[in-house]
Amino acid sequence: MSKTIAWRSPSNIALIKYWGKYGRQLPKNASISLTLENAFSETHLQYEQKNAQSAAGLSFDFLFEGKENPNFSARIEKFMSSILDEMPFLKDYHFQIQSHNSFPHSAGIASSASGLSALALCLTQLATEIGYGDFTKENFKEKASYFSRLASGSACRSIYGGAAIWGETPHYEKASNLYAVPYGESLHPIFHTYHNDILFVSKAEKKVSSTAGHQLMEGNPFAEARYAQAQDNLGKLLTHLKNGDIHEAGFIIEEEALTLHALMMSSRPSFVLMQPNTLLLIHKLRAWREETKLPLYFTLDAGPNLHLLYPSEIKTQAQAFIQSELLPYCENGQYLADKVGQGAFAL
Ligand code: PMV
């Protein structure tokens, strides 16, 4: 008889960027992200104990939005194989995994953070339900974050509501390189309703995978200075996030986004992931901010799309500006309105 476990897990947007890794998916610097609400994946894991005649080894079928997807299947296979030492019981079951996203796959939003954390949550729940090893209800989130990290680095931050920190730092004692820890409760209330609207400058596929991007940091002449800057920026940002210094926080957040792109531009080979309209929108946004003094800031992921950050207090003004001045420069005038969310939950 088969049983099913299902989780919804959101995407997250980094304010201090993780870019550069070593060893088994360990970060070269600590990062912090906001957990999103509307951009999420839902994964259903149906499992059935194999019988004595079944083939040994991992056994699963995977459907993404109802269809086979060889790329995603290969990624899942790689992930599940990589954790067999820690979850050897995975070989005892046959799995049917189904996953879908709340956002269109081609929208230029990375789905690995939400999709793979949802799967890691399902597997961690299975381990907990069967009482495997030291898996308990008490360490559930930490374990789920640990396995999410092994699946896809920054995915480990998606587990918790509000905000999450991943990576050791003197600025936050509880932080670890192995899993993310929640920071939501320390956020000033102004950030609890923070919006993150993703403006689609271009929905084309990413030109460089994050795996390749992290590797390029190994030869980057600015790498060490970057890791020191990230450390320093994290310390300052944590203070601003706690005190509600929204402009001070915004300056650091923009610096982080532009540094991430500067690192890609200064790598060998070099990548320019911004499009002309990315820069145009940045200039427009900064001019509007200068004029209105309102706290509208941006961040970028490893791509051309602009993430706009603002508190709900200025929602009316910010959205009117976005609609009239920015959307005309987006692909088909499209954007995705999102905001800080509650974190992953079981369905
Ligand atoms: O988790 P990865 O390996 O896809 O790397 C993510 C890197 C950035 O999205 C650019 C920054 C971050 O911290 O999320």
- Binning pLDDT at 50, 70 and 90, where does residue 327 land? very high
278-288 pLDDT per residue, tens: 999 999 999 99
* Pocket residue to mutate for ligand 1, from 116, 154, 301, most atoms within 8 A of Cβ: 154
Rounded Cα gap, residues 77 and 62, in angstroms: 10
> Which residue in the block uniquely carries the two structure tokens 């200068």?
290
pLDDT of residue 104: 73
Rounded Cα gap, residues 220 and 226, in angstroms: 10
- Binning pLDDT at 50, 70 and 90, where does residue 23 land? very high
Phi (first) and psi of residue 146, to 5 degrees? -60, -50
**What's the token pair of residue 170?**
């003197």
Number of the ligand 1 atom closest to the C-alpha atom of 302? 10
pLDDT beyond 70 at 213: yes
Q: Using CA of residue 242, residue 246, residue 248, residue 249, what is the dihedral sign?
A: positive
How far from chain centre, in Å, is Cα 79? 17
Ligand 1 geometric centre to CA of 49 (Å): 35
Single-letter code of the amino acid located at 73: S
How far from chain centre, in Å, is Cα 16? 12
Rounded Cα gap, residues 1 and 68, in angstroms: 24
pLDDT of residue 110: 65
- Binning pLDDT at 50, 70 and 90, where does residue 207 land? confident
Look up residue 205 and give its DSSP letter: P
237-294 pLDDT per residue, tens: 999 999 999 999 999 999 999 999 999 999 999 999 999 999 999 999 999 999 999 9
Specify whether the CB–CB gap between 217 and 28 falls below 8 A: yes
- Binning pLDDT at 50, 70 and 90, where does residue 184 land? confident
Q: Using CA of residue 222, residue 224, residue 230, residue 232, what is the dihedral sign?
A: negative
Over residues 12-20, mean pLDDT = 97
Please give the mean pLDDT across all residues of the chain.
94
Over residues 199-215, mean pLDDT = 84
pLDDT of residue 95: 97
What percent of the chain lies above the pLDDT cut of 90?
88
Single-letter code of the amino acid located at 187: L
Number of the ligand 1 atom closest to the C-alpha atom of 113? 1
pLDDT of residue 158: 97
pLDDT of residue 107: 57
Burial class (CB in 10 A: 0-12, 13-18, 19+), 185: exposed
71-110 pLDDT per residue, tens: 999 999 999 999 999 999 999 999 999 999 998 765 556 6
Number of the ligand 1 atom closest to the C-alpha atom of 209? 4
Cα–Cα nearest to 218, from 21, 77, 30: 21
pLDDT beyond 90 at 298: yes
How far from chain centre, in Å, is Cα 86? 24
b/e map of 218-227 (b: 16 or more CB within 10 Å)?
A: eebeebeebb
Residues with CB under 6 A from ligand 1: 14, 17-19, 31, 112, 152-154, 210, 260, 301-302
**What's the token pair of residue 294?**
């309102």
pLDDT beyond 90 at 205: no
Single-letter code of the amino acid located at 132: Y
Strand partners, 94: 48
Ligand 1 geometric centre to CA of 36 (Å): 15
pLDDT of residue 252: 98
pLDDT beyond 90 at 208: no
Ligand 1 geometric centre to CA of 295 (Å): 25
pLDDT of residue 142: 98
pLDDT beyond 60 at 212: yes
pLDDT beyond 80 at 42: yes
